[in-house]
Chain A
Amino acid sequence: MLTKRIIPCLDIKDGRVVKGVKFLGLKDAGDPVEVARVYDKEEADELVFLDITASFENRKTLVELVEKIAKNIFMPFTVGGGVGDIGDIRNILNAGAEKVSVNTQAVKLPQLISEASKRFGSQCIVVAIDAKLVTSHQSPVTSNGQGTDKWEVYINGGRTPTGLDAVEWARKAAKLGAGEILLTSMDYDGTKDGFDIGLTKAITEAVGIPVIASGGAGKPEHFFDVFSKTSADAGLAASIFHYQEYSVRQVKECLREKGIPVRL
């Protein structure tokens, strides 16, 4: 049986992990390979590396880093952040990433999705969507998933609203050949109040490709909520794992107890 995936996310700047990672016994908490090794041992299902420098000069550093990770960790991982063209995608895949995630550039130039999926296969093209509830008649926290809510797509790391409807954009991205959606709720990100069920439900119902829910995970039960109430395929989180509030294994054990299929 295909299991639900638990995915720790690492922010990378100039080839180093940023935002605190506080594992005991790590010699260098900024070394992506060392951090990835910890998650490999914990049997995380995948990893996501997000390059937040994402400038042209740093492309080379990133590709070198991807190579280094691939040579040390025998598990699947996705790399994203500032991916601009087919060349970037090819370099990252050739360096050993399983998948490449595209965000801003996919919105600006949707043909990038179709071109890349034709060239490399849909299965390695992830479209990342940062979405925020349109607060015309409701506040973000009361998003109810009843089909009346609307979410807007933001780009440039959540700084620039696009006017695009998130559900429509997800549908279009899937049609163009995206193999997966990495869906981040800007309203829930950082709250630790749980995943955005309404948003995740709306997107998973709109597309036939896997969806990774992201933003808001604060405890294992939140993963159960998103897997039991929506058809999300994976849950992504950063701080609860980095600060060792919960281990990947604890999350999976909680899910297994509640009848969600996980790999343990």
Chain B
Amino acid sequence: MIAIIDYGMGNIHSVNKALEVCGAKTLITNKVQDIKSCDKAVLPGVGAFDDAVSELKKQGLIEPILEHIKNKKPFLGICLGMQLLFDESAEAQKEKGLGVFNGKVEKFKHSHDLKVPHMGWNQLKTSGECPLLKDIPDNSFVYFCHSYYPLPYDKSIIAGLTNYGQDFAAIVWKDKVFGMQFHPEKSQGIGLRMLQNFVNLC
């Protein structure tokens, strides 16, 4: 069973349905007990960093998320859900991230050639043996829609890079924790294949 953590930050239906299409049993939940009993969890999210962290705190979800990760159960953060796993964000005024990944979240600097948000289909340069990238060809297109991007201090956790003005980490991976800056649930067949790989993890 995959817990899809519903903490009131944006769309969860698409992720849920995409995982179901991949054959997963899912549970949309904000209950601590559910997260503890599920063998995998997904943290989606759209919106502001501060709001997201305060919602997680208010609903008592940070501790079960950290425990899930500590127990080496597969965990996937998508978009804002990935950013929350870092130490801090340039977007935040008051809240810190969960610190699962060391590093911070930065904002793209708008320039003459660089429009912000980064919006649309861009390519992934993959590296290493990330299990979510099994059967994903290098330079595959995935869908991005964001103004902030993660900057991990430990570059070895970067499993996929995308170029937008500069290379940035589009996929991070450590042990059983995965983060995607793009939206696999909106990236048509390629995205579904990555989610399928997540579903297949043991």
Contact = CB atoms under 8 A, between A and B. Distances in A.
**Are A and B interaction partners?**
yes
Contacts, number: 109
A124 interface: yes
Given A45-B120, A263-B121, A96 B14 contact: yes
> How many interface residues does chain B have, given as a range?
35 or more
A2 B120 contact: yes
Nearest to A5: B120
A120 B91 CA distance: 13
Interface string B132-144: 0000000001011
B34 to A, nearest CB: 20
> How many interface residues does chain A have, given as a range?
35 or more
B13 A74 contact: no
A248 interface: no
Nearest to B187: A74
A233 B119 contact: yes
A180 B119 contact: yes
B146 interface: yes
A118 interface: yes
Contacts of B120: 2-5, 45-46, 210, 233-234
A156 B183 CA distance: 33
10 contacts: A43-B188, A74-B14, A74-B187, A93-B46, A94-B12, A121-B146, A123-B117, A209-B116, A210-B117, A210-B120
Interface of B: 10-14, 17-18, 21, 46-48, 51, 80, 110, 115-123, 141, 143-147, 163-164, 183, 185-188, 191-192
